[in-house]
């Protein structure tokens, strides 16, 4: 299925403009495979790179891989010639974000696996949370990004990203990966993040609400929200949920953010109806 004789110089082919760091550590590769859901749903892999993880994926599941680098696409076509011919691997040489603007990444329920370039990691994860066919994500990202998505209320790193992730399902930071596991080695520690979705949640207005709530994390939630809502309404909403006016954004649970949003959105809708 795989052309194991397709050699390539990882250091020389890595391109900074694509944020490429190729995962080569076999132990980490096996850890990723072991962390995948155990079912028959196909895999969507973003950024297969040299195909070191892909070679394990195609042995157990059907895979659709998105690769933006034309040179790497040529390498992957040679390395996985048989897998492509027998339909085990579908290689799409395109910018996944452009494709995502048009439709879901899969025509059926799928699991996402990816070693994401740091500069687009957050965007990719947020898109996947909104993709109705995406059932789970298992992604390698910068540790700081993984912590923002997996943080719990009360932790300083708890953010709007954590609220959005927890609004769709269960979030877990699985394990850390040191720089030396990659070629070339990045300057930061990476982490494997897993999100198992229970539902698809997409509400642009709620996302704007969260950006306002977490705009200045060191300030109180009341102060942040008062920049977009009537201060009197904000204080009343916090009181109705037994949240003091001194509570900070990272101290409020995900479910309470949804309650706050409904209350304050209702206040605005009510005022608009009266004025109309």
Q: Is 115 annotated as a binding residue?
A: yes
Q: Is 67 a known ligand-binding residue?
A: yes
**Residue found under tokens 């698809």:** 200
Closest CA to 65 of 56, 76, 81: 76
3 is in an annotated binding site: no
Instruction: Check the annotation: does 239 bind a ligand.
Output: no
Q: Is 23 annotated as a binding residue?
A: yes
Query: Annotated binding site: which residue ranges?
Result: 21, 23, 47, 67, 95, 115
Binding-site positions for S-adenosyl-L-methionine: 21, 23, 47, 67, 95, 115
């Amino acid at each position: 299925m795989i052309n194991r004789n397709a050699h390539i110089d990882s250091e020389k082919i890595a391109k900074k403009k694509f944020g490429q760091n190729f995962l080569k550590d076999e132990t980490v590769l096996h850890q990723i495979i072991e962390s995948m859901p155990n079912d028959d749903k196909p895999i969507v892999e973003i950024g297969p790179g040299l195909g070191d993880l892909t070679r394990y994926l195609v042995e157990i599941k059907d895979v659709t891989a998105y690769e933006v680098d034309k040179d790497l696409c040529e390498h992957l076509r040679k390395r996985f010639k048989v897998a492509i011919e027998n339909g085990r691997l579908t290689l799409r040489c395109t910018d996944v974000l452009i494709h995502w603007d048009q439709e879901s990444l899969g025509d059926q329920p799928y699991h996402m696996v990816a070693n994401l370039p740091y500069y687009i990691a957050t965007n990719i994860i947020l898109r996947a949370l909104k993709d109705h066919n995406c059932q789970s994500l298992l992604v390698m990202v910068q540790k700081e990004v993984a912590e923002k998505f997996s943080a719990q209320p009360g932790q300083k790193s708890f953010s709007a990203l954590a609220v959005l992730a927890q609004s769709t399902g269960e979030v877990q930071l699985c394990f850390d990966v040191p720089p030396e596991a990659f070629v070339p080695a990045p300057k930061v520690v990476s982490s494997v993040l897993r999100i198992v979705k229970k539902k698809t949640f997409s509400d642009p207005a709620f996302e704007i609400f969260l950006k306002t709530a977490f705009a200045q994390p060191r300030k109180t939630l009341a102060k942040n929200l008062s920049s977009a809502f009537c201060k009197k309404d904000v204080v009343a909403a916090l009181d109705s949920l037994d949240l003091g006016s001194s509570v900070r954004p990272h101290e409020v649970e995900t479910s309470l953010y949804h309650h706050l949003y409904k209350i304050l959105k209702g206040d605005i809708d009510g005022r608009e109806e009266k004025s109309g």
